[in-house]
Amino acid sequence: MKQFDIPSIFRSPIISKVKAFRKNQDPRKKDFSPTILDFGNLQLFIARHFGFCYGVENAIEIAYRAVDENKGKRIFLLSQMIHNPTVNEDLTRHGIEFIQDTSGKQLIPWEDLHSDDVVIIPAFGTTLEIEQILKDRGVSTEKYNTTCPFVEKVWNRAEKLGTENHTLVIHGKYNHEETRATFSHTALNSEAVIVKNMEEAVFLAKCITGEASKEEFYNFFKGKYTPDFDPEIHLSKIGVINQTTMLASETQEIAEYLKTVTEEFAMRSKVNKTFADTRDTLCYATNDNQSATEALMNESLDFAIVVGGYNSSNTSHLVELLEQRCSTYFIKDETEILSVETIRSFNIHTHEVETIENWMKGGKIGVTSGASCPDSIIDNVISKLLMLTGSEKSIDEVISQLI
């Protein structure tokens, strides 16, 4: 695996040793069980996989290289590099400005950009429409395009299926930057529709079988399908691709469900309807992080802490998983842990930060983070927990015993 050059502020003296130990112990990544750091009165169950993935490290390396190579020039990011406030705030401190917010709202007019400006494409990629706007402004983006290779893999698969006359069902959140980009690239070669979850997939299945009318399709998926989409024509040959940060298990569930519905209806009605296998578009890092979280759920935890940006899709799905088994607190960093009595936690259902009292019940704590969270923040969270609880063993002692 390539080693990336990322700023030292994102590196970690604690977690780096834990990850190195597990990599040496399990180089083929067959064991998803957590690493247990036993401090006596406190046991931390550290997920086997979490933190910066390949695509994120690649994006960060390119962004900071852009800063180093363009002294005196204006440097812009189309939107947030990744969904982590610590990373984006540091990029801002280095003089980078954001052209749009995460929802696509314009912060800097396109007319303000000049051909000698540097524009960085974020890890989520961008739409063909925005690429054309930048090209028309004379702005080159090839050198500092940080689009994740696994996102591009989804686009390439969609292009191939499109040339074979497949319609693409995109499992994703409609307003997410990556989904908007994937929809744009997919629409170049095929018809496409976006489904957010299994509930929407079930309705789409009714459109496949004719139980729901064309008008009902247009109302239900308003704004989420390509302009010329005709459900009576374009749902005969389909494939499922995804926003790479969605729950991989849900993408597979949706694909299997639509495949079954399509094939059973085709056999029963003697019509020609087919389904393409697209399991190869699932992101390995998303899979590994979610599998490690599921292994964490098998432990007898008193509660769990998930660290990451509150607008991070992949992080919210880790919270969604862990909530099924134990009390789970979603924090952006250690500053949200106010005391052993009080914590501030982001509620993924209400989208609000809540102040929770009497939260630390027990000493068996699951710890993980999203793919956009620096390991250094996990270090800070661990140190804060040990400081507040008065751990019986030092970090150095526990890590040395582990190794």
Alpha-carbon distance 154 to 242, whole Å?
A: 7
Asked whether residue 143 is assigned to any structural domain, the reply reads no
Give pLDDT, residue 284. 83
Same domain membership, residue 313 and residue 324? yes
The pair of structure tokens assigned to 226 is: 């390509």
Give pLDDT, residue 195. 97
Same domain membership, residue 99 and residue 35? no
pLDDT-above-70 percentage for the chain: 98
| Helix or strand (DSSP H, E) at 161 | helix 149-163
The pair of structure tokens assigned to 265 is: 């209806």
We report the CATH number of the domain holding residue 275 as: 3.40.1010.20
Alpha-carbon distance 47 to 389, whole Å?
A: 21
pLDDT average, residue stretch 14-26: 94
Candidates 111, 90, 84, 85; CA nearest to 99 is 111
pLDDT average, residue stretch 348-368: 96
Contact 251, 320 (CB under 8 A): no
Neighbours of 38 (CB within 10 A): 15
Give pLDDT, residue 264. 85
Contact 33, 47 (CB under 8 A): no
Same domain membership, residue 396 and residue 348? yes
Of the pLDDT bands very low, low, confident and very high (cuts 50, 70, 90), residue 282 is confident
Beta-bridge partners for 242: 171
Residues annotated as part of the active site: 178
What residue numbers bound the domain in which 372 lies? 8-53+284-402
Give pLDDT, residue 283. 83
Of the pLDDT bands very low, low, confident and very high (cuts 50, 70, 90), residue 286 is confident
Give pLDDT, residue 206. 96
Mean pLDDT, the chain, as a whole number?
A: 93
| Helix or strand (DSSP H, E) at 183 | helix 177-187
Q: For 195-244, how does the pLDDT look when each residue is reduced to its tens digit (9 = 90+)?
A: 999 999 999 999 999 999 999 999 999 999 999 999 999 998 899 999 99
We report the CATH number of the domain holding residue 111 as: 3.40.50.11270
pLDDT average, residue stretch 325-343: 97
Give pLDDT, residue 344. 98
User: Does residue 3 surpass a pLDDT of 90?
Assistant: no
User: Does residue 186 surpass a pLDDT of 90?
Assistant: yes
Asked whether residue 101 is assigned to any structural domain, the reply reads yes
Alpha-carbon distance 19 to 50, whole Å?
A: 10
Of 281, 296, 315, the position where a domain reaches its end is 281
Contact 342, 327 (CB under 8 A): no
Give pLDDT, residue 112. 97
